[in-house]
Amino acid sequence: MINNKEQLLLEGLAANEAGAIETIYRENYGIIQSFILKNNGYPEDARDIFQEAMIVLYQKAVSDSFELSCQVKTYLYSVCRRLWLKKLQQLQRYNPAIEIGEETIPIDEDLEDHEKKNEDFLLMEQAMDKIGEPCKSLLEAYYFQKKSMPEIADFFGYTNADNAKTQKYKCLVRLKKIFFAQYKNGG
């Protein structure tokens, strides 16, 4: 089912390449947008839903057991459809009398997986917000922006990279504590 071009696209997606993301957007956004506009949604809903579906696809593409049994187009459509149904129900804009699209491919597992990962992500974000400054900026600089220790020492005004490193570990321990406190409480 899956051809070479799509395989390359998904590899690009997993590597976070803007070109691959753009191609997927260009080829699929229109369909999703018109689907959502037709079903009680606004343009910004389409943007939110499509972004989330892209994240689902991304998470699938980077996972070890990656395997896509259908075309990207079909996959995105199914995910968006499900996400939008759920959103409609939450917003109570859903009218069960309206049949919106057909069930396409089974994606329950992927969505469950996505939800779990999303929760973990939010948990990490919350923990990051709670550790305060300069810890937050310091850890973000190292782990998110991938800055080197000398760069960080310079930017945050530590006398040398070793001092910055010690501070980083203190912050990391605090972050871990907060993260696990929430994590073990079932999020």
Partner 1 sequence: MDDILLLDAIERYKNGEMTTQERIFLEELRKNNPDIDQLAVEHIFFLQQLENAANIKHFKQSLDEVESKLVNEGVIARSELKGKAKLVYLWNRSRRNIAVAASIALIVSIFTAGMFSAYTKKNTDKVITPLVDYKFKQVDAKLKQFEKKLDQAAVVSALPVAPKPKIEANFRATGFLIDVTGYIVTNAHVINKARNLIVENKKGDQFYASPVYVSTSTDLAILKINDTSFRNFTSLPYSIRKSSAELGEQIFTLGYPRDEVVYGEGYLSAKSGYSGDTSSYQISISVNPGNSGGPVINRNGEVIGIISSKETNADGVVFAIKSKNIYNALDEITKSEKIKLPSSGTIKGLDRVHQIKKIEDCVFMVKGN
Given the complex with partner 1, which of 1 and 173 has the nearer CB atom? 173
Question: Considering only residues 80-109, where is the footprint of partner 1 by CB under 8 A?
Answer: none
Contact 170, 176 (CB under 8 A): no
* 112 contributes a contact to partner 1 by CB under 8 A: no
Question: Which residues, including other chains, have CB under 8 Å from residue 137's CB and lie 6 or more apart?
Answer: 156
In the complex, minimum distance from the CB of residue 102 to partner 1, in angstroms, rounded to a whole number? 25
Minimum Å gap between C-beta 140 and partner 1 is: 7
Asked if 54 is part of the footprint of partner 1 (rule: CB under 8 A), the reply reads: yes
Residue 115: φ, ψ to 5°: -65, -40
Q: Which stretch binds partner 1 (CB under 8 A): 3-11, 25-33, 71-79, 87-95?
A: 25-33
Binder of partner 1 out of 98, 140, 150, 187 (CB under 8 A): 140
Q: Which of 124, 149, 161, 178 binds partner 1 (CB under 8 A)?
A: 124
Distances, alpha carbon 150 to alpha carbons 141, 153, 161, 173, in Å: 12, 5, 5, 21
Distance between CA atoms of residues 127 and 121, nearest Å: 10
Contact assessment for residue 111 and residue 82, using Cβ atoms and an 8 Å cutoff:
yes
Residue 119 found at the interface with partner 1 (CB under 8 A): no
> In this structure, what token pair is assigned to residue 126?
């919350």
**Which one of residues 1, 44, 64, 96 is an interface residue with partner 1 (CB under 8 A)?**
44
Q: Total residues at the site for partner 1 (CB under 8 A)?
A: 41
